[in-house]
Structure 1
Amino acid sequence: MGMQPELLAHLQTGTTTVARAWGIERCDGVRLGFTDHDNDLEFERFSFRAASGLTTSALEQSTGLSVDNAEAIGVLSDASVQEADIAAGRMDGADITAWLVNWVNPDERSVLFRGNIGEIRRSGGAFVAELRGLAEQLNVPRGRVYQRPCSAVLGDASCRFDLNAPGYVHTREVADVSERRVFHFPTLDDYEPGWFTRGQLQVQSGIAEGLSGLIKRDWFDQDGGRNIELWEPLGAQIGRGDQVKLVAGCDKRFSTCRHKFLNTLNFQGFPDIPGEDWITSYPTRESGNTGGSLR
């Protein structure tokens, strides 16, 4: 990344007043700022707190397409990074930017690193966060796989289905919850059993607001109530009365896309691919030999 001319001129004077600053923007929009200067700084809509206990290892940056990685080491505290937020996954994938800044004139600054937070380890009141550079996206597989099920995620740019369409989302209060994973509702009569299987549960209020989980099962119990079970427990406590949003699930089959979502034009699978038994098919006298498929 190029150095800002004003900052470069300042560094060439030999007597410098520079510090490092780190800005973190979580996926839920919360912005956190840290600096190794002894006074707070403000720029780029961040408030960078001094004496926050955050430091970083040497940034491994290179030219070309290789992936840049580093680590950020900090102290867990109620005022900045909380252990509960890490456990709940609120820091996962957060955007992070590191600057070299002239603390006398913060307008003189240059970006040293830009990327995301990867794996986070925590122990003894401290945490170590892996920083992944922008080139990390080069490790993501690209292209499509020829398969019968749909390869899109319900509601994404390929699927194009409107998840806010009537009948596909439902918001209500939680009546009871077990192990932060099984949610009980007195009634959900407007939706057939299994309607939300493979869908999402999104928390709208309470301590766990902003968290979400994938739905494993959706069924009626013997008392006529409705149960929603997640694959994994949520990272924060859920209480009675908290609002949750249930999003309908998709099993990626063509028939589901056609009858449940009326979205066949955007189906991203190949439902007519012959199966493995096709190579053993042969004409017989009993079958209709019309020149069509032997399947």
Structure 2
Amino acid sequence: MPVRLTVLVPGGSGQLGRDIAALASPSVDVVAPGSAELDVTMTGQVLASVGALADRARETGSAPVVINAAAYTAVDAAETDEERAFAVNADGPRVLAAACASRRVPLIHVSTDYVFPGDASSPYEPSDELGPRSAYGRTKAAGEDAVLGSGASSWVVRTSWLYGKSGPNFVKTMAKLESTRETVSVVDDQVGGPTWTADLAAGLLELASRVAAGDGPERRILHCTNAGAVSWCGFARAVFTHLGADPARVKPCTTAEFPRPAARPAYSVLSPNSWREAWLTPLRPWDEALAAYFAAE
């Protein structure tokens, strides 16, 4: 019989948080507050929310788990607002982890491929050396350290290139540009793994169930993305195809031709080995997930 769960999802108004709440089964009670209700930079709010979660789980005879989907994700803005990014991506998880440790609540913390330097030629494993090249990446790496060093029963799940039904993302941007421009130039020398938030949400809930049952993976850092890899240009062309548009309207360009304030990893594909070795369900290929995303509209 599945363990009944009571799950707190900071960042619940974001695209990942919304999908976690939407996918919850009858045996999973999800509380998914947005930042207006639970600001992870506010210690009092964090302590109260984790305490309420633990009390609610005890009263209902369920197992409490926190899935932290709260993050400062404005990659370029973080270059000039690193203090705020650090508060949300590092200080917030530190306080959240401390609260979880004090109430003996397991914590699953969502992180990013941007913690790596992006100079690899094969998919990154969780044990590979970090080397973030942006303020966003640095603050997320600090958040990982804070969680894993907190003493809480915790897991870090790195993912990449998220898109979902709610919130701004690359897929929505390409759909808008397809309707307003004849051609679109997209970088073709950055390669990664697009991940549909609905698929990631299902994976995180599966992990939460395992953790609640006392069968959490021995490895504390896991990678979870839709399978496969593609460049941003290739991804954009796939979006155009699903829109019924000519993918040739997407023109390749180099990173040098499209400079941004924050450095992007040239190669940030995450290996699925850690997820598979933990006996968690592998996510389907990215192109199948994209097709499902459009079919669900």
Using the size of structure 1 for normalisation, the TM-score is 0.24
Larger C-alpha radius of gyration, 1 or 2?
1
Higher RCO (C-alpha 8 Å, min separation 6): 2
More helix by share: 2
